[in-house]
Amino acid sequence: MKALLSEVRAFVREEDGVALSEYLVLLGLLVGGVIAAVTLAGTNLATAWNGWAGFFLSLDDAVPA
C-alpha cells in the first residue's frame, strides 16, 4: 500500500501529466472550434464551391478548340 501511495504522490509532483492534460484540453477546444466553424459555414461553403466550379467550367467552354 505504501508503494502505491508513493507512486501516486510522485505522479502528482510530476509536471508532465499536467502539461499533457492541458494540451489535450487545448486540442479539444481547437477541434470543437473547427467543427463548429465548418458546421455554421457549411452551406455557404457549398454555395461558394459550386459557384467556383461553374465559373471554371464556363472558362473551359470559352476556350477555342
Q: Determine the pLDDT at residue 64.
A: 66
Distances (CA, A) of 50 to 13, 34, 53, 58, 60: 55, 22, 5, 12, 15
Q: Cα(5)–Cα(10) distance, rounded to whole angstroms?
A: 9
Q: Determine the pLDDT at residue 57.
A: 86
Provide the CA 47 distance to its chain's centre, in angstroms. 22
9-64 pLDDT, tens digit per residue, is: 777 676 666 778 889 999 999 999 999 998 888 878 888 889 999 998 888 776 66
